Chain A
Amino acid sequence: AQKITQTQPGMFVQEKEAVTLDCTYDTSDQSYGLFWYKQPSSGEMIFLIYQGSYDEQNATEGRYSLNFQKARKSANLVISASQLGDSAMYFCASSSGSARQLTFGSGTQLTVLP
């Protein structure tokens, strides 16, 4: 079984600043994937970034980067140069070879302040 823990129910960041959203995971599988999704108030889950367990380099996608620390089982999302449109709920999720479905954390509500 997999478990995702997001310990920050809410976060605030000033516009144009960087912010880190925490995520730790627990899995017994050797091969797994880690994902971050953004869910604005409209409800749709928007894919942000993916990290494979065997990837040696941290994933980056534009202003998003994933700080992958395998030994600590953490997969924090870093958003650089925050924008007002980044205000949303952010979910960390994992999948593994033994379970195709994603297991989600409880989410972090990010608010970007002008």
Chain B
Amino acid sequence: GAGVSQSPRYKVAKRGQDVALRCDPISGHVSLFWYQQALGQGPEFLTYFQNEAQLDKSGLPSDRFFAERPEGSVSTLKIQRTQQEDSAVYLCASSWGFSHTGELFFGEGSRLTVL
């Protein structure tokens, strides 16, 4: 597809379950970001990849959160032992280059609800 694709769009998990959220960036985009957006708030940075290298994971809220991008394209955000406070929309974004001036292209997000 032409844009950033995320799946699933909606996920309901019972507390304690593990979930995996997938992001398929625009082909050829080097940079990939994950953001967490709580209801009524702005997105907050989780982690950043440049190709397959995870250069910044300072925003991951706990060691239950793990992200990977093994071949420098598709990325997966995994949340282990989900808790209610993990309920949010998880946004993936990608861009062509490394510069902070580059436009980010966002996916539609994966809405996670933890019961």
Contact = CB atoms under 8 A, between A and B. Distances in A.
A52 B42 contact: no
A44 B108 CA distance: 4
B104 interface: yes
B53 to A, nearest CB: 13
Interface residues on A, range: 20 to 34
Interface string B86-115: 000101010000111101111111010000
B62 interface: no
A100 B93 CA distance: 12
A47 B104 contact: yes
A32 B42 CA distance: 19
A57 to B, nearest CB: 15
Contact of A99 (B98, B100, B106): B100
Interface centre among B45, B104, B108 (most CB of A within 10 A): B104
B106 A45 contact: yes
Nearest to B41: A106
A102 B45 contact: yes
B48 interface: yes
Interface in B30-54: 31, 33, 40-45, 48
Interface stretch (A63-71, A75-83, A90-98): A90-98
A1 to B, nearest CB: 11
Interface of B: 31, 33, 40-45, 48, 56, 59, 89, 91, 93, 98-101, 103-109, 111
11 contacts: A31-B100, A43-B111, A44-B106, A46-B106, A50-B103, A93-B42, A100-B31, A100-B98, A101-B48, A104-B43, A104-B44
